[in-house]
Amino acid sequence: MHKKYLIYPVFVLVLLFVIMILSSCKPEPVQEEEEATGEEEVTEEEAAGEEEEEVVNDSESLFPRAEEVENRFMVQDAFQGITFTRPLDLQNAGDGSGRLFIVEQSGRISIIDTSSFETSAVLFLDISDRVDDSGNEMGLLGLAFHPDFENNESFFVNYTNGNNTVISRFTLSSDNPYAADAASEEILLTFQQPYPNHNGGQLAFGLDDGYLYIATGDGGSGGDPHGNGQNRGTLLGKILRIDVDSQDPGLNYAIPSDNPFAGNAEGYREEIYAYGLRNPWRFSFDPLTGRLWAADVGQNKMEEIDIIEKGGNYGWNIMEGSLCYNPRTGCDPVGLELPIHEYEHSLGESITGGYIYRDENLPLLYGAYIYADFISGTIWGLWYEEGEEPANFALSESGLNISSFGIDEDYELYLTAFDGKIYSLAQLQ
């Protein structure tokens, strides 16, 4: 018994000694986990810092420095040897053909095949027999191809005939798939113009809705004497939107159900998408954001650029740009959409709207709204980001009467001028 009791303490001591040795040989998981966590935190902070730096740099790149773009571009003859008479519009068909369609004020549309080395344009459509271009702002003013042109072969034009604006559909010739059939005209819409000027003229299909958008001027003369801009009972001084693939009773088109005045009981024209415009000379959709950009020609003080929203009132003839017009002072701007940019007549007197630049050939211009003035020939780039002050820079003093802009299927930008040529932009070396 006594020996047994002596063995137990010795056994316990030995066991404790073994446990201590084993404990000293074990790794320290908690400490390693803390060190590992610390390393992860540092890595996350570094990654977050790098990501933040990338975001800041990207934000700064949205607006170039003046010295990078101001007067750093020139215009160049895009198709040497090919000229037109008073070209007013340039469009592509979106059919993969790469062709450009040039609209002449007299009523002719011609094709430039950019994939060939031809030095002449091919006639596509001649409706000069029904187009009245007797006034400086009259004639064949707009062209738009149906989004499904490749299959339905339909396109649309905007022209003046006497005292009327005419919106018509045409189709291709059954005998010649490279030419239009002048006898295929289907008139969708006509409305009277009280004066020969301020006819608008732009046509374009919405990128998401597939509806046809139409720009109309206020009817002309000066100062909008009939108050058409603010009168929602007339189609003048508006951006219209119609469905050309359906028909409502008594119409050759349908009213989109979400038009802002669809089904109203006040007598407003249901075709109206936006109003309060003087003479919108060219609008376009940004293919990336879907925004509708419009340039509105001013009266005698301001030229303006607007982003068009459904149901928006753009102020004419209460205001000319950000200035009171009628009355001259003390006008109420509540409920009016002011321009995102404007310029005084010391810089130019007739704005020509353009496009958001989405081509890759001139990366410094990517995302800028490129536009010009018909009188001064200045070409500008406007960089705009919601919530930021826009940046506007003169890109080139072209010396041209720039009548319109257009893009090809790859978003390369062109401009038309009254010297008869088609130009593109190039960066000075």
Q: Is the same domain home to 54 and 86?
A: no
Note the pLDDT tens digit of each residue in 108-121: 999 999 987 778 99
Q: Which of 20, 45, 61 is the last residue of a domain?
A: 61
Helix or strand or coil: residue 193?
coil
Q: What is the pLDDT of residue 125?
A: 98
93 and 219 within one domain: yes
68 and 39 fall within a common domain: no
Q: What is the pTM of this model?
A: 0.86
Write down which residue in 12, 46, 61 finishes a domain. 61
Q: Give domain status of residue 388, yes or no.
A: yes
**How many Å apart are CA 205 and CA 123, to the nearest integer?**
24
In a domain, 1, yes or no: no
What pairs with residue 180 in β-bridges? 172
Shared-domain flag, residues 43 and 118? no
Q: In terms of domains, do 168 and 230 share one?
A: yes
Instruction: Give the mean pLDDT of 189-209.
Output: 98
Q: Are residues 53 and 140 part of one domain?
A: no
- In the structure, what pLDDT confidence band is assigned to residue 59 with cuts at 50, 70 and 90? very low
Find how far residue 421's CA is from the centre of its chain. 23
pLDDT at 38 over 50: no
pLDDT digits (tens, 9 = 90+) for 276-316: 999 999 999 999 999 999 999 999 999 999 999 999 999 99
- The pLDDT of residue 317 is 98
User: Would residue 14 count as lying in a domain?
Assistant: no
Three-class secondary structure of residue 391 per DSSP:
strand
- Same domain flag for 38 and 125: no
In a domain, residue 353? The reply is yes
pLDDT digits 0-9 by tens, 241-281: 999 999 999 999 999 999 999 999 999 999 999 999 999 99
391-399 average pLDDT score: 98
E strands in 309-383: 319-320, 323-324, 341-344, 351-356, 369-373, 378-383
Question: Do 35 and 83 belong together in one domain?
Answer: no
pLDDT, greater one: 28 or 393: 393
pLDDT tens-digit readout, 166-185? 999 999 999 998 999 999 99
Half-sphere exposure of 293 (CA within 13 A, CB side): 26
Examine the domain organization and report whether 336 and 397 are in the same domain: yes
pLDDT the model gives residue 177: 87
Tens-digit pLDDT profile for residues 133-142: 999 999 999 9
Q: How many domains does the chain have?
A: 2
Summary mean pLDDT of the chain:
89
For 59-68, 255-264, 374-383, which range has the lowest pLDDT when averaged over its residues?
59-68
C-alpha 214/C-alpha 193 separation (Å) is 15
Per DSSP, the three-state class of 99 is strand
Q: Do 67 and 87 form a contact (C-beta atoms < 8 A)?
A: no
Residue 350: closest CA among 366, 371, 329? 371
Would you say residue 21 lies in a domain?
A: no
Residue 383: beta bridge partners? 391
pLDDT for residue 94 is more than 90:
yes
Question: The domain that contains 236 carries what CATH number?
Answer: 2.120.10.30
Phi then psi for residue 183, to 5 deg, are -85, 0
Domain assignment present for residue 250? The answer is yes
pLDDT of residue 161 exceeding 60: yes
Asked whether residue 323 falls in the same domain as residue 420, the answer is yes
Domain region containing 288: 62-427
List pLDDT tens digits, range 204-230. 999 999 999 999 999 999 999 999 999
The pLDDT value given to residue 48: 44
- Asked whether residue 234 falls in the same domain as residue 179, the answer is yes
49 pLDDT exceeds 60? no
pLDDT of residue 321: 98
User: pLDDT value at position 124?
Assistant: 98
DSSP run (H or E) holding 377: none
Confidence at 53, pLDDT banded by 50, 70, 90: very low
Q: Is residue 100 part of a domain?
A: yes
* The two three-digit tokens of residue 383, written as one number: 């960089």
| 48 and 67 part of one domain | no
Question: Which of 11, 43, 61 marks a domain boundary?
Answer: 61
What's the pLDDT at 345?
Answer: 98
Identify whether 6 is part of a domain: no
